[in-house]
Structure 1
Amino acid sequence: MARRKSKRADDEAKKPQKKPAKKAESDEVEVEPEQEDISELLASSADMVVSTCMQMRSWENVLVITDPATADIGQALYEASSRISDRVLMVMMPSTSQHGDEPPAPVAELMRRQHIVLAPTRYSLTHTRATHTAARKEGARIATMPGITLDIFTKGGMTADFAEVKRDITKVGGLLRKKRNVRVTSEAGTDVEFRVEPRKWKLEDNGILSRPTQVSNLPAGKVFIMPREGRMNGRIVIDGSWDSTLLDEPLVLHVEDGKITHIEGSDIADEVREQYEAAAERLGPKEQELLWTVAEFGFGMNPNARLIGNVLEDEKVRGTCYFAIGDNTNLGGSASVGIHVTGVLRNPKVMIDDFCVLHKGDLVV
């Protein structure tokens, strides 16, 4: 049993020399509300994901995939899902080594048996055979959250009105019909041209995953497409972020016939070379030839997203565009190379045929 303080102890506590103890008491009061606020924000965001984004039903099978880096977010999503369905599983897997690495076989098998998969993980599961099989063949709807942090999960792009984001993306999609020729330029030096198949613009990264087979990042908010293979030429200057790094100096990618031929950019260029050389070691000769494929082009549509040095949110920033290098099989391409990394451009101009989509960082439509 705790003992009651004596009057003398109370008097001593009031003396000026006891200020350090008073400070400690003050610190304790300040920390607890912050912890409570974080818990409340986590729960609120998780409830929004399962109710608004996934539109989860009580009878659905749900799998939450997490790893040590994202365990708090995985737990919040598990608890929110369990308030709706009693058919919820959570699996903690080892962190993979890079974006596009396959999850362990037991995890991939579990994914195939779900109506909903929520994947807050350090590295992306979006461009994997496991996700493709679970969604396209088995009908799961899958929200991936590669590199998600507490900050991203509770602020910025996750606070957007996703119904509004969906409406905006639908409007833009209507304007892209029958348009095939894309040119991207920027004051930083980008000047690249390529062709696309108009029917293949992806318009479902809007934050609402209510239909089978849908796959999207959260936070969501982008329009994207696979450039036609072998048809891109020019120069791409990445001056926003590369993967999970805000750039102090640009990364320059030279493109010929749809592949990166050489790169410039001091330290960041060296890091990128090492990143792709490591990926090449796991590939056969034919796959190595496709390693540097320009796999994806897109532009952000989320008005609340911030450029913070995390690709999950960076590529959704309204007014930016991005290119991804590597695996394009999830978009119907032939480059099965097991790595898919994104670079974001600030203030680009994007022309699609005679239609200006972005001009100096402003969404024109």
Structure 2
Amino acid sequence: MKYYEMEVAKAAKTLVEDIFRLKKGETFIITADTESDERVVNTVSQAAFSIGAKPMVIWLASPLGVGKAADPMLPVDALSEALKQADAWVEFNNKWLLYSTPFERAMSYNKKLRYMCLVGMDTDMMVRVIGRVDTSLLEEFLVKVAELTRKAKKMRIKTPAGTDLEFENSPNNPVSCDTGRADSPGMHMLAGQIGWAPVFESINGTLVFDGSLEPPCGLLKEPVVLTVEKGRVVDIRGGNQAQQFRRWLEGFNGPNMFRLAHVCYGFNPGAKLTGNILEDERVWGCTEWGLGYLSAADAPPEGIPAASHCDGICLNSSVWVDDIQILDNGTVVYEKLKRIAEKLT
């Protein structure tokens, strides 16, 4: 018997039947690269086939970058055409295709496509963040937090590591709520994250990544400290990884790579800090900030045009939504949310 052989089969069944709600005859594309967990890919394809769907697994050489930075190593036209014809697509690539040219072509052309980003998913993580999570209760909690956030005009986020940011929200920018469902057309993410684009020029203060930063650093050995003025990083301080991050941003020769793109809460009770950004940004009580590319759908009318995108994790966050404190050092303290949070964690 292999490690978690039965548990990962249950999680795969949950993914195809409860999350995607695949139907008999639907074309289900699974993309993976040479850094992906083959057991996850095979188990999910088997689960899809067992209910009468038509799985198509596409293995790719692992690109040297993510998003559009992956384009030079991708069979862009062939991959785009396949995705244009799919009913559903789950991405298990370790170097993600999200925001790449094939992704943009597929999402623009294929209005029926149900896409879910599960980049770097491995056997252990799949069991913890999908197979063992009470998805209905988590969905109830996430919806309540998202409603609070949509109504907020001003917010503040602090962490023990030194993050202290204030910003305003725009009613024109959507608040995404990843409840773990991928049964409707569009882009979907792993359950446990709520994200949005603030009013960019209103973001000011200090941002400290102390969990992970991907790309280019992965797990952080020491904090990366950013000074933010009007939504733009104007200074980067820290040790070797901070300098690595600075060089990575500068390597794109584009000022928009220094812009903050979005902020998210992390709320998946099974997630732990591993260096896989998909999981890291869902660690309970963290906040996550993205820099660089952002789609126009996330921040109308033009988003942020940039060559790539990265995400950094701020652990043990304290969050104020207008005058309401909902998190204190990563623990839910708002009375209307505490009961559900305690059941989940």
Q: Structure 1 residue 274: deviation in Å?
A: 2.7
Structure 2 unaligned runs (5+)? 338-345
Residues 1:136 and 1:239: Cα distance change in structure 2 (over 3 Å): same
Question: What per-residue deviation string (whole Å, max 9, x for no partner) do you get for residues 96-153 of structure 1?
Answer: 2223234532112211211100110012223334334433552311111222223212
**Map of 1:29 onto structure 2:** none
> Aligned AA for 2:196?
I
Aligned residues: 322
Q: What amino acid sits opposite 1:50 in the alignment?
A: V
SS in 1 for 2:44: helix
Partner of 1:84: 51
Pairing of 1:173-252 with structure 2 (within 5 A): 173-198=146-171, 200-213=173-186, 215-218=187-190, 220-243=191-214, 245-252=218-225
Q: Classify the secondary structure of the residue corresponding to 1:308.
A: coil
- RMSD of equivalent CA atoms: 2.1
Counterpart for residue 88 of structure 2: 116
Post-superposition Cα deviations, 1:40-68, rounded to whole Å, max 9, x if no partner, equal 33322221111111111113221111111
Range moving further from structure 2, 313-322 or 157-166: 157-166
Partner of residue 24, structure 1: none
Correspondence 1:96 to 2:63: yes
Matching of residue 168 in structure 1 with residue 137 in structure 2: no
Instruction: Within 5 Å, give how 1:341-352 maps onto structure 2.
Output: 341-352=310-321
1:10-21 to structure 2, matched below 5 A, reads none
Does the residue aligned with 1:322 lie in a helix, a strand or coil?
Answer: strand
2:115 matched to 1:142? yes
Partner Cα separation in structure 1 for residue 35 and residue 236 of structure 2: 31
1:58 aligns with 2:24: yes
CA distance in 1, matches of 2:230, 2:200: 8
SS in 1 for 2:252: helix
Residue 336 of structure 1 aligns to a residue in which SS?
Answer: strand
Is the partner of 2:26 in helix, strand or coil?
A: coil
Structure with higher strand content: 2
Aligned counterparts of 1:231 and 1:216: Cα–Cα separation in 2:
28
CA distance in 2, matches of 1:155, 1:112: 32
In structure 1, the residue matched to 2:343 is none
Q: Mean alpha-carbon deviation: is it higher for 135-144 or for 228-237? A: 135-144
TM-score (structure 1 length as normaliser): 0.82
Q: Is the 8 A contact 1:176 1:198 kept in 2?
A: no
Identical pairs, percent: 25
Take 1:308 and 1:57, find their aligned partners in 2: how far apart are those partners? 34
Please tell me the residue identity of whatever aligns with 1:323. Answer: W
Matched AA of 1:95:
S
Q: Are the counterparts in 1 of residues 14 and 130 from structure 2 also a CA contact under 8 Å?
A: no
Work out whether residues 129 and 268 of structure 2, in 8 Å CA contact, stay in contact via their aligned partners in 1: no
* 1:251 positional shift: 0.8
How far 1:290 sits from its partner (Å)?
0.8
User: Which stretch of structure 1 is more off in the superposition, 89-98 or 153-162?
Assistant: 153-162
Alpha-carbon distance change, 256 to 355 in structure 1, aligned in 2, over 3 angstroms: same
Runs of 4+ aligned structure 1 residues displaced above 6 Å come to none
**1:86/1:49 CA distance change after superposition, 3 Å:** closer
> What SS class does the counterpart of residue 297 from structure 1 fall into?
strand
Kept in 1, the 8 Å contact 2:262–2:290? The answer is yes
Contact between 1:157 and 1:306, CA under 8 Å: does it hold in 2? no
8 Å contact from structure 1 (residues 100, 339) kept in 2:
yes
**Structure 1, unpaired ranges of 5+:** 1-32, 281-287
